Each structure stands twice: as C-alpha cells, then as structure tokens.
Amino acid sequence: MASSNAPSNVLSQLWRNKESRGVIIQIFTMVIVFGLLAVIARNVVINLEAVGKEFSFDFLFWPAGYDIGFSPFIEYTNKSTHFMSGVVGLLNTLLIAFWGCILATILGFVIGIMRLSSNWLVSRVSYVFVEFVRNVPVLIHILAIYAIVVTILPSTKQAISLGGDLFFLSNRGFYIPAPIFESGAGWVGIVLLISIGLVIAFKRRAKRIQDNTGRIYPVFWISLAILTVLPSLALVAMDTPISWDIPALKGFNFQGGMAVKPEFIALWLGLSYYTAAFIAEIVRAGILAVSHGQTEAAHALGVRPNRTLQLIIIPQALRIIVPPLCSQYLNLTKNSSLAIAIGYMDITATLGGISLMQTGKEMETMLIVMGIYLIISLLISSFMNWFNSRIKLTER
C-alpha cells in the first residue's frame, strides 16, 4: 500500500510547494503553447503543399506589374519589383503619418486650449466638436471627406482658385505651387542648416547665461532673425536660385505645380482631426492637472503671466501630456492603414493588398507588413520611453 501511495504523495507535495508548483505550471503551459505552434506549423506545411505554394520571399524580386499613382519620392513603374512597391508603400505610410501627426498636434493643442477657454461659446463649440468627432469611427470620417472632395468639389475646369490663382481646389486634388531648385540652391540649403545650428547653439548659450546670471535674452526674436536674415542673404547672393512653378489650367487638367491627390487630402484631414479630438482631451487634462497653486506661486514671485505659462505650467503639463500623446501618434500611424479603403497606396495597400492578391503569397506579405508596423510601433514607444525618462520628475 505504502509503495503505491508514495508517488502520488510526492506529486501532491510538489503541487503544494509554491516553487515546484510554479515550475509545473510553466512546463505545462510551455507544452501546450509549443504543441499548438507545432500543430499550426505542421498544418501550414501540409496546406501550402496541397495548394502547391512554397514559403519563400523570392517574390519580392518579381516584377510587380501594377501602377502606383502616388509615389512622390522614388521612381516607380509597373516594371519595378514587389520590393520597390513595398518601399513606395512604406514611404507613403511614413509621409501620411508625419504630416498627420503634425496637423493633429496643432489642431489638438488649439482645440484643447479652446476647451479650457473662459469664453462659454468657444468652449462649448469645441466640446461639441470633440464629442462628435471622437464618437464616430475614423473610417467614416475619411470616407466622408473623400466623398466630399470627389463629388462636391468642382471639376478641374471650374476649380476654386485661392490666393490669387496660386492655389486651386478641384475634385482631382489640391494644386499648389512647387519650388524649382536651380544650381546654387544647395548653398542656400547649407546656409539654412548652418543658421539652424546657430539657433540651437544660441539657445544653449542663452540658457547657460540665464542659469548663471538670471539675465533673459529674447531668444525667440533673435532666433527668428537668424533664421530669416541669413538664408535670405544667401538667396540674394546666389541670385535667387529658387523659383516657384505655379499651377495653371491647360485644357482639361492643370500643368505645373504640385498636385496633392484627393486620397491624400481625405486621409490626412480625416486622420488628423480624428486624432486631434483625442489630443485635445489629453491637453485639457494635462493643463488641468497642474495645480492652480503653481500659477499663484509664480505670480507671488512676480513672474509675468506669459512667463508663468512658459516656464511653470507648460513644462509640468507636458510631463503629463507626452506619454498619451505618443500613443496617439502610434494610433494615427496604425490608422493610416485605412488608406486602403480610399485607394491611397500605403504599405497595407501595396504589399498587403495588391501584391498579396497578385502573387498569392499571403503568409509572406502579411509577415512583412506586420513586421514593419511592429518596428514603427517599437521605435515610437522607445522614443516615448527615452523622452519620459528625460523629463521625469527628479525628486530630491
């Protein structure tokens, strides 16, 4: 009897002990998870064999055979490879994410501050805007703007002209003047970079002087002067190597200038104001979270109101605002994959859409697309962590 009882006793003892029970549970989980993965891998191999496909990334170097209407950075024709179409898609994703984040931040801060306005009408209007925008799916916003641009704006022949025939709005897109760089423009660019460097150096110096002596320089105005005067001097010196190519109606379409496609406009505006509604709430919460005592203390010390905002309120509010702001940027980037609904060629639409359909490489294309989004997410969140640790409250 005793011998038959012994193993179960050992088992129950192992189960009662916290450490060994942990080990048992973990081994058990690992067996289940790896078993599941093995079954999936086996199924994938069998299924792929059954339909006569093999798992390889060779297709990336096959000619893609489809056109991409919007490729502002690199040359792309339908003879290019799938790899190139993926690159074009990635660049388009980054382009929309970049401009979207900028517009969303500006709009979000403006609306968030309007929400806090002591003016009842202003704060109500922004409240209604925020509540309406963020309670409607972003896809509907994008589709609605796209429908407005395409169906309600006039055709190119009757395009709405803005700013004295410099800008044109039509259902084929938004036409803006494009800069033409002639020889010598590079020098202007170099001077611009140098003046940016000067501004940064000057800011550091001004901060050091202020820390040491308390003297405050008018940093903003001096920076503005450096940034405008030096490059314009360079412009004059190089005999204005930059000119503007202004769009003009020739026949049925516009010639010259730069065309911002309706797909880009719809996606950009839709993503931006949808995200701006969330950013506005973040900004509002961040500013409200800085206790009023801080303002009062600053005033008691004799700090002027705009300096109070600049030196006391904003730095403290930013500490609260930045982490959720970064996750909104991340959301915007991920939401940019909705481009596929209106035909803007981002990475999901090129590699994950058309390339997938044409090559039948579901596994490979989806792995690449998901991997790219994961990398972008990781980059943004590691930036967030770095920034967080930089501005973290150092308690003494």
Partner 1 sequence: MTKSFNPQSYEPGTHPDLPPPAITTGLIGWIKTNLFSSPLNTALTLISLWFLWQILPSSIHWLFTGAVWSAVDRKECWAMMDAPRDGACWAFIRGSLELFLYGWYPEPERWRVNLTFILFGAAVFGALRENIPGKKYWLMFAAVFPFLAAWLLFGGFGLEPVPTGKLGGILLTLVVAVTGISFSLPLGIALALGRRSRLPVLRAICVIFIEFIRGVPLITLLFVASTMLTYFLPPGSSFDLLMRVLIMVTLFAAAYIAEVVRGGLQGLSSGQYEAADALGLTYWQSHRLIILPQALKISIPGIVNTFIGSYKDSVLVLIIGMMDILGLGRARLNDPDWLGLAPELYIFISLFFFVSCFAMARYSLSLEKKLETGHQS
Q: Which residues bind partner 1 (CB under 8 A)?
A: 22, 25-26, 29-30, 33, 40, 43-44, 46-48, 50, 117-122, 125, 131-132, 135-140, 143-144, 147-148, 151-152, 334-335, 337-338, 340-341, 348, 352, 356, 362-363, 366, 369-370, 373-374, 377-378
Phi-psi group of 239: left, alpha or beta (phi > 0 → left; psi -120 to 50 → alpha; rest → beta): left
DSSP bridge partners of 168: 161, 175
Burial of 75 (0-12, 13-18, 19+ CB in 10 A): exposed
Please enumerate in sequence order all residues whose Cβ is within 8 A of that of 75, keeping only pairs 6 or more positions apart, or say none: none
- Give the nearest distance from C-beta 140 to partner 1 in angstroms: 6
Interatomic CA distance for residues 354 and 369, integer angstroms: 13
For partner 1, the closer of residues 29 and 210 by Cβ is 29
How many helices, marked H, and strands, marked E, lie in the chain?
A: 14, 8
Instruction: Classify 220 as helix, strand or coil.
Output: helix
CA 83 to chain centroid, in Å, comes to 23
Phi-psi group of 304: left, alpha or beta (phi > 0 → left; psi -120 to 50 → alpha; rest → beta): beta
Instruction: Classify 168 as helix, strand or coil.
Output: strand
For partner 1, the closer of residues 28 and 181 by Cβ is 28
- Give the nearest distance from C-beta 260 to partner 1 in angstroms: 21
- Give the nearest distance from C-beta 190 to partner 1 in angstroms: 39
- Give the nearest distance from C-beta 122 to partner 1 in angstroms: 5
For partner 1, the closer of residues 44 and 233 by Cβ is 44
For partner 1, the closer of residues 294 and 381 by Cβ is 381
Q: Do residues 241 and 184 touch, judged by C-beta distance below 8 A?
A: yes
**Closest Cα to residue 277, out of 61, 73, 129?**
129
For partner 1, the closer of residues 335 and 350 by Cβ is 335
- Give the nearest distance from C-beta 34 to partner 1 in angstroms: 10
- Give the nearest distance from C-beta 392 to partner 1 in angstroms: 17
For partner 1, the closer of residues 22 and 179 by Cβ is 22
